[in-house]
Amino acid sequence: MVLALSDESDELVGEYVDDMGLRVRVAAGAVAQGPFMGNGVPRTYVVGPDGKILWKGHPASLNSGVLKDALKGVKKSANTYLAFNPVGEYTEKDAIKLVDLGLEGKLAKALKAAKDLAADEAGGPASVQANAYAGEVEGYVTLLKQQAESFITKREMVTGTEVLKTLANEFKGTDLAPPIEERLKEIEKDDTLSKELEADVALGKLKEAAIKKGWRKQAKKLESLIKKYEGTGAATKAKALLRKANSE
Amino acid sequence: MRTPLPLLAALVCLGAMGATAAPWQPSFQDEEPTDVVGVPAPELQARTWYNHIGQTPTLASLSGKVWVVEMWATW
């Protein structure tokens, strides 16, 4: 996982992430502490699975050998936000199994198994841990739903609805799914939100095309998107991108 | 973290963007630890995350994973 930290403002960093089409995780308003403190940027640190720093240097001198060495013997966690690393300590064998399921991104399966184990009166300490784990998973689902809503508020409709769809799909058949499915239907029926979504999908396609061909060639399409979806979040973003396209 | 190479490309790309060597934050100018290899990484402190869905990266959420931190700036 790559985490790119800047101490600059949200405005500056957010605009940069959009303009450059950055896909790695980026943070604004960061404060470097202890061993991460330093004089120059960019500087890079590789941290091992035990939380200790393995390498420090300029990103240009970080080679794949360093990363391959670092990754040796590391359990692969699923490359999805459904992969959940709990905060609590889970020491019982059956509780560790739950944690492993969650790390693989099998969140619904992990939650069901945790609830079953928690309900097992003869389960002893494993039941207690399973109960705590189930609580953590439910809290995490709530967090993901909140994040989805925050994307929707920011008119990043594709990302927001994708998170909701992923959750609805993962928890299909459980009592967590119906409210999420309801919310998705509500978005579909809402004139404003459905238009926002359509506009965001269209903008996403232009962004993909721009990565391959550059923004200049997308200018006309940006103009028609702005016209067609006037007043949407995507149109506002498209206006900024059009200025960029025209200056390229 | 699956394939190291795209990550490297992303990092080098970020590196090139912020290639000017200059202080990251004024308060960091004085003491840059010299030998940090083997030292436990500190907790990450950041206000806003982009391109991130899910758990806020913390030492607990990152434990068991290999992670790469890049200190960079837009200028």
- Per-residue pLDDT at A135 exceeds 70: yes
Contacts of A25 in chain B (CB under 8 A): 49-52, 57
In a domain, A194, yes or no: no
- Per-residue pLDDT at B2 exceeds 50: no
Mean pLDDT of A101-120: 95
In a domain, A85, yes or no: no
Is A98 found in the same domain as A60?
no
Is A97 found in the same domain as A43?
no
Asked if the Cβ–Cβ distance from A13 to B48 is below 8 Å, we say yes
Is A205 found in the same domain as A127?
no
Query: How many domains does chain A contain in total?
Result: 3
Asked if the Cβ–Cβ distance from A70 to B66 is below 8 Å, we say yes
Q: Where are the alpha helices (DSSP H) in chain A?
A: 10-20, 64-71, 93-103, 107-119, 125-153, 157-170, 177-189, 191-213, 219-228, 233-247
Is A44 found in the same domain as A126?
no
Contact yes or no for A45/B41 (Cβ under 8 A): yes
**Pairwise CA distance, residues A236 & A224, whole Å:** 13
Is A56 found in the same domain as A14?
yes
- B-contacting residues of A 141-200, CB under 8 Å? 143-144, 147, 159, 163
Contacts of A10 in chain B (CB under 8 A): 47-48
Cα A72–Cα A74–Cα A75 angle in degrees, nearest 5: 145
Is A123 found in the same domain as A40?
no
Read off the pLDDT of residues A205-216 as tens digits, 9 standing for 90 and up.
998 898 888 888
Tokens of residue A239, six digits:
């206006």
Asked if the Cβ–Cβ distance from B49 to A26 is below 8 Å, we say yes
Task: Out of A27, A56, A75, name the one closest to residue B46 (CB).
Answer: A27
Supply the pTM of this predicted model: 0.78
In a domain, A83, yes or no: no
Is A184 found in the same domain as A206?
no
Read off the pLDDT of residues B8-62 as tens digits, 9 standing for 90 and up.
555 555 555 444 434 455 444 446 777 899 999 999 999 999 999 998 899 988 8
In a domain, A229, yes or no: yes
**Pairwise CA distance, residues B14 & B7, whole Å:** 10
Asked if the Cβ–Cβ distance from B50 to A14 is below 8 Å, we say yes
The whole-angstrom distance between A159's CA and the closest CA on chain B is: 9
Is A109 found in the same domain as A24?
no
In a domain, A75, yes or no: no
Residue A241: strand, helix, or coil: helix
Is A232 found in the same domain as A205?
yes
Is A160 found in the same domain as A100?
yes
In a domain, A159, yes or no: yes
Contact yes or no for A163/A151 (Cβ under 8 A): yes
Which residues have CB under 8 Å from B1's CB, separation 6+?
Answer: A1, A2, A67, A71, B7, B65, B66, B67, B68
In a domain, A87, yes or no: no
Mean pLDDT of A9-28: 89
- A-contacting residues of B 9-38, CB under 8 Å? 10-12, 14-25, 28-29, 31-33, 36-38
> Could you tell me the CA-to-CA distances from A34 to A4, A177, B30, B41, B58 in Å, in that order?
17, 43, 12, 8, 15
Among the three residues A162, A189, A216, which one is the final residue of a domain in this structure?
A: A189
- Per-residue pLDDT at A248 exceeds 80: no
Range of the domain at A63: 3-70
- Per-residue pLDDT at A75 exceeds 50: yes
Asked if the Cβ–Cβ distance from B60 to A87 is below 8 Å, we say yes
Contact yes or no for A180/A168 (Cβ under 8 A): yes
Chain A to chain B Cβ contacts (< 8 Å):
254
Task: Out of A27, A42, A44, name the one closest to residue B48 (CB).
Answer: A27
Among the three residues A19, A38, A70, which one is the final residue of a domain in this structure?
A: A70
Read off the pLDDT of residues A146-157 as tens digits, 9 standing for 90 and up.
999 999 998 999
How buried is residue A85: exposed, middle or buried, by Cβ count under 10 Å (0-12/13-18/19+)? buried
Asked if the Cβ–Cβ distance from B50 to A143 is below 8 Å, we say no
In a domain, A64, yes or no: yes
Q: What is the ipTM of this complex?
A: 0.75
Is A230 found in the same domain as A180?
no
CA neighbor of A193 nearest in space, from A163, A143, A156: A156
> Could you tell me the CA-to-CA distances from A185 to A8, A171, A222, A229, B11 in Å, in that order?
38, 16, 29, 21, 40
Contacts of A147 in chain B (CB under 8 A): 53-54
- Per-residue pLDDT at A30 exceeds 80: yes
Is A185 found in the same domain as A97?
yes
> Could you tell me the CA-to-CA distances from A86 to A119, A125, A190, A231 in Å, in that order?
20, 17, 36, 41
Q: What is the pLDDT of residue B30?
A: 46
